[in-house]
């Protein structure tokens, strides 16, 4: 399957499970995208999702723990990325963190990560996230934005087998397949997004080489 076909298949399958998919040409475009999403996210409300509703007192208390108006976590992108993101976040009035996410369980607006691989067949991301900070960025952020290099898209899990075997052999290791945002249909089989994890998942396919 050609890279273009893989991108198309991935996009089709990911969109079918409520993932937003964009192709970007440069890593800078990806940073701009993330900052824009964070800045414009629910422009009229700054509360974490669910905090606007009547909650028990302890749950209310945790809502109150959110320290920034806007917060972005980018734990695994490396120093260059942080240097590039810092002024962008600063201009947009967004707090930026790259470690210690455990202290922000009250809510993070955007988690920006890099995917290890993509699975075109199911529109899934593969993330090696043995680092707890990276894992939390994909779990407690309300919007998860993942950068996926086009060259890392594989047709299906069979094609990924050797890479996955390697991931699983890491001691310790924590690998996730992520397919769309967190979802439930536990009440009357009505689909609701964002029950525990992200309310939205964006995948930025980085197509630098062509």
Partner 1 sequence: MQTADTLNAYRKELREALENKFQKTALDNFAVAYREGRAKNFAGIDRAELIRQIASAKDAAMGQMDELYARFKQAAEAAGATVHLADSDSAANAIIARIAEENACQKIVKAKSMTAEETLLNHFLENKGYEVIETDLGEWIIQLRKEGPSHMVMPAIHLSRNEVSRLFTEVTGKSQDTDIEQLVKVARRELRQRFVQADMGISGANFAIAETGTLGLVTNEGNARLVTTLPRVHVALVGLDKLMPSLHEALQILKGLPRNATGQAMTSYVTWITGATPSAAAPDGQKQMHIVFLDNGRSALARDPVFSEALRCVRCGACANVCPIYRMVGGQTYGHIYIGAIGLILTYFFHGKNRDKNLVQNCLNCQACKDVCVAGIDLPRLIKEVHTLIQEDGRKPVLNALAVPVIKNRRLFHGLLRTGRYAQAPVTGGAPYMRHLPHALVKEHAFKALPALSKKPFRDRWNPAPHSPPHPEYRVALFSGCLQDFVYPEQLEAGLRLFTGKNIRIDFPYAQGCCGLPLYMLGERAAAAEVAEYNISHMDPAEYDFILTFCASCASHMRENYPFLLKTASGRRVKAAQFAQKIIDFSSFADFLLDASDAGRPEKPIKAAYHAPCHLCRGIGVTEAPRKLLQNAGYDYVPHGEEETCCGLGGTYSFKFPEISAEILNKKLAAVSATGAEILATDCPGCVMQLRGGAAKQNLSLRVLHVAEALADARKSFGRF
The residue ranges that bind partner 1 (CB under 8 A) are: 13, 17, 48-51, 53-59, 61-63, 100-102, 105, 119, 121-124, 130-132, 135-136, 139-140, 157-158, 161, 164-165, 167-190, 192, 194-198
Residue 42 beta carbon to partner 1: minimum distance, rounded to whole angstroms: 13
Vertex 120 angle, CA 21 and 209, to 5°: 70
- Shortest distance in whole angstroms from residue 164 CB to partner 1: 6
| C-beta of 31 vs 141, nearer to partner 1 | 141
93 versus 173: smaller Cβ distance to partner 1: 173
Complete DSSP assignment for 25-71: SSHHHHHHHHHHHHHHTTTT--SPTTTTS---HHHHHHHTT--SSSE
As measured in angstroms, the least distance from the Cβ of 133 to partner 1 is 8
- In this complex, which beta carbon is closest to partner 1, that of residue 43 or of residue 172? 172
CA Rg value for the chain: 17
4/185 with CB nearer partner 1: 185
For 48, residues 6+ apart whose C-beta sits below 8 A from its C-beta are 63, 66, 106, 107, 142
Provide the token pair at 104. 């922000």
Strands 108-114 and 71-73: parallel
Nearer to partner 1, 88 or 118 (CB): 118
CB of 136 to partner 1, least distance (A): 7
The least distance separating partner 1 from the CB of residue 168, rounded to whole angstroms, comes to 4
Cis? peptide before 172, omega within 30° of 0: yes
């Amino acid at each position: 399957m050609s890279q273009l076909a893989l991108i198309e298949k991935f996009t089709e399958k990911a969109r079918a499970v409520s993932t937003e998919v964009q192709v970007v040409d440069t890593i800078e475009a990806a940073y701009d995208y993330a900052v824009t999403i964070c800045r414009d996210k629910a422009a009229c409300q700054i509360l974490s999702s669910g905090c606007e509703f009547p909650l028990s007192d302890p749950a209310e208390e945790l809502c109150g723990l959110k320290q920034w108006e806007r917060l972005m976590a980018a734990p695994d992108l490396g120093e260059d990325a942080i240097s590039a993101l810092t002024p962008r976040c600063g201009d947009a009035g967004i707090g930026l963190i790259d470690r210690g996410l455990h202290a922000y369980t009250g809510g993070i607006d955007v988690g920006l990560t890099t995917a290890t691989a993509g699975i075109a067949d199911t529109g899934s991301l593969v993330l090696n996230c043995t680092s707890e900070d990276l894992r939390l960025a994909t779990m407690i952020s309300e919007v998860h934005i993942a950068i996926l290099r086009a060259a890392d898209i594989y047709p299906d899990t069979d094609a990924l087998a050797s890479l996955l075997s390697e991931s699983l052999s890491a001691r310790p290791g924590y690998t996730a397949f992520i397919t769309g945002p967190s979802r439930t249909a536990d009440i009357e089989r009505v689909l609701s997004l964002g029950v525990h994890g992200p309310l939205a998942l964006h995948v930025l396919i980085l197509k630098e080489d062509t």
